[in-house]
Amino acid sequence: MSGKKLVELFYDVVSPYSWLGFEVLCRYSAAGVWNMNLKLKPFFLGGVMHASGNQPPAMIPSKGDYMVHDLQRLREYMQVPINQPKDVADVLFNKGSLQAQRFLTAVDMKYPQFTEALSRQLWMRIWSKDQDITKEESFREAGRAAGISDDIINESLSHIKDQDVKDRLKQYTQEALDNGAFGAPTIVVHIDGKKKMIFGCDRFPILAMILGEEWRGPLIGLKGKL
């Protein structure tokens, strides 16, 4: 096999579609069936939406209605336990994910071995259990569920407001924008010194084609339920 091709996943835990794309890419990465080096890059979706002039589906009634049914179908197809929060508008527009993404960034910068598990637990809270992801205690609970020690959680929480953490989150957000991002998930593939951007959680056959690999469906390597 040639050197592994870099695949960057830009995502935000406020986005259910990001969760779907995240799980499928993590499955393929863990199974080792693609010649791919997956790099997780948490960014701030609010910044991307503002800079690109995009609007979330909930702002357009027909899109919002479609999303409800679409997520139910994708839950079954991709075997990701998505449950829509009772008050989606409050979650998306009032509470948001900035602090959660900063906490995730603080962990990722020093303890990247926990990035995948922590991301998953934050999604589980907001998009499966309808729980908070804005308060410090919520971050502690998500961290513990991800197998992170209290010492590392406390250390990471103490750095949430640090400029280097804010700068990293801004950096990844700008990188996504520079590659044409207008939403999440945004996937950037590095091939022969060039970058190719793919948007959404339903373009994996196209990603496979770009990588020169075979798309084997969303459940490869899945063992049991999340």
Residue 222: pLDDT above 90? no
Token readout for 173 is: 């957000």
Structure tokens at 96: 């948001």
Q: What is the DSSP letter of 12?
A: -
Alpha-carbon gap, residue 214 to 18, rounded angstroms:
22
Q: Domains in the chain and their CATH numbers?
A: 5-211 (3.40.30.10)
Report the pLDDT value the prediction gives residue 93, as an integer from 0 to 100.
81
What are the tens digits of pLDDT across the range 139-159? 999 999 999 999 999 999 999
In sequence order, the 6+-apart residues with CB closer than 8 A to the CB of 35 are 1, 2, 4, 5, 211, 212, 213
Q: Which residue type does 69 have?
A: H
The strand pairing partners of 40, in sequence order, are 9
Distance between CA atoms of residues 104 and 93, nearest Å = 20
Query: What percentage of the chain has pLDDT greater than the value 70?
Result: 97
Place of tokens 């962990």: 107
> What single-letter amino acid sits at 193?
G
Q: Select the more confidently predicted residue: 59 or 156.
A: 156
Using the predicted structure, report yes or no on whether residue 226 has a pLDDT greater than 70.
Answer: no
pTM of the model: 0.95
What are the counts of helices (DSSP H) followed by strands (DSSP E) for the chain?
A: 10, 4
Is residue 7 classed as helix, strand or coil in its secondary structure? strand
pLDDT in the model for residue 1: 44
What percent of the chain stands above pLDDT 90?
A: 87
Cβ-count burial 177-213 (b if 16+ within 10 Å, e if not): bebebebbbbbbbeeeeeeebbbbbbebeebbebbeb
The answer to whether residue 203 scores a pLDDT higher than 70 is yes
